[in-house]
Amino acid sequence: MFLKGERCLTQKCAFIRRGNPNAAKGKQRLSEYGVQLKEKQKAKKEYGLLEKQFKLTFEKAQKQTGKAGDNLLKLLETRLDNTVFRLGLASSRPQARQLVNHGHAYINGKKVSIPSYQVNVGEIITIKPGSKGSKMFTNIEDKIKKAQIPGWLNFDVKEMTAKVLHKPGIEDIRTDINTQVIVEYYSK
């Protein structure tokens, strides 16, 4: 039913004139703050962190020597859940976080169930011996072949162990996050 009468048979019809409300205005530009906030939110979502975790990680990165943005990315990359994801043991970061939470990850032979644990150079990451036969790890060779393991990690498929060779450099981190904008956001 068209209850607008004859007016909707012409160009003066509200349905025709209105169209897409955002199309009439054009795409609005974000303010500088909006761009900074959007970039921070993108980084939080990519690494699966809450606001408080992300802010504490940034504050830790700021206290280190060097660029705060680069340090932030290095800290985010060396989290245990992200490392498990980078090794190809999980198909996503949330799945890697769950693997760590449920105690499937061992570091130097000890169970670590804290996803935010920072892996260090020389540490050996293994899968819980009882978990290796589970459905999650049956076709692990195929998953590892598809995964692009970064140069700062070495993974032995037969033993199901990984070793942290060195701290990741900025060139080792594949991301499109503009860390300078995040630093500007937190410097206010």
CATH number at residue 84: 3.10.290.10
In this prediction, residue 1 carries a pLDDT of 43
Residue 11 domain flag: no
Residue 7 belongs to a domain: no
Q: What are phi and psi of 17, to 5 degrees?
A: -65, -40
Q: What is the mean pLDDT of the chain?
A: 86
Closest residue by Cα to residue 125 from 143, 140, 144, 106: 106
Q: How many domains would you assign to the chain?
A: 1
User: 145 lies in a domain?
Assistant: yes
Q: Which domain holds residue 168?
A: 33-172
164, HSE (Cβ side, Cα atoms, 13 Å): 22
Q: Taking a C-beta distance cutoff of 8 angstroms, is the pair 120, 132 a contact?
A: no
- Quote the crossing angle between the two packed helices 68-77 and 51-63, to the nearest 10°: 120
**Residue 15 in domain:** no
* pLDDT, tens only, 139-180: 777 777 777 889 899 988 888 899 999 999 888 887 889 999
Within a domain: 16:
no
Lowest-confidence range among 74-78, 113-117, 132-136? Answer: 132-136
